[in-house]
Amino acid sequence: MTTYVEFFFDLSSPWTRIAFRNFRERARDLDVAVVWRPFLVGGVFNAVNDSVYAARESPANPKYRLTWVWLKEWAELAGVAMNFPSPHHPVKSVNAMRFCCALEQQQDQLETFAEAAFEAYFTEQRNIDDPAVLIAVANACGVDGAALAQAIANSSVRLFR
């Protein structure tokens, strides 16, 4: 019997980057069908968890400082490249997540694009808020970047439903 799982993700989250990779590998080993769901985590932070932003204002805060150490340790343990934080952190992920929303009905392409975008941001330190970067990332993984850029210009592609 196949198990169905919805996996909500935001391309700007380093912890989600690790979970995305590990979950994909594990789901392939098991009889799990995954539905990838783009999710704008910054919108949630704005609504219910503004302490995230307060922590960023005090880099001397031990929890904030140690987060990067812990993140790199977890990434290494998981075998995930993590060249983070990048010069673009914290990145606005609205454009990137809209690209994902435009692909939501093509789950295979969404998964392929999301992996490439995670790699672009967390390994290559590219700015995934820049539409030109997103187009290039999409094209490099076999997804039509220009078509995605055009789709997100259409008001029907929304992050909130």
Asked if residues 102 and 151 have their Cβ atoms less than 8 Å apart, the reply is yes
Q: What CATH class has 3-153?
A: alpha beta
Asked if residues 90 and 122 have their Cβ atoms less than 8 Å apart, the reply is no
pTM of the model: 0.86
**Over the stretch 73-82, which tens digit does the pLDDT of each residue have?**
999 999 998 9
**Over the stretch 87-96, which tens digit does the pLDDT of each residue have?**
888 888 999 9
Domain boundaries, the chain: 3-153
Fill in the amino acid letter for 67.
T
Cα→Cα distances 147→16, 48, 111, 131, Å: 26, 34, 17, 12
Query: Taking the alpha carbons of 39, 45, 46, 49 in that order, is the dihedral positive or negative?
Result: positive
Cα→Cα distances 17→74, 108, 155, Å: 11, 17, 28
Structure tokens that stand for 151 in this block: 């789709």
Q: Walk along the chain (161 residues) and give the pLDDT tens digit of each residue.
A: 678 899 999 999 999 999 999 999 888 888 889 999 998 887 776 667 666 656 666 667 777 778 888 999 999 999 998 988 888 888 889 999 999 999 999 999 999 999 999 999 999 999 999 999 999 999 999 999 999 999 988 766 665 54
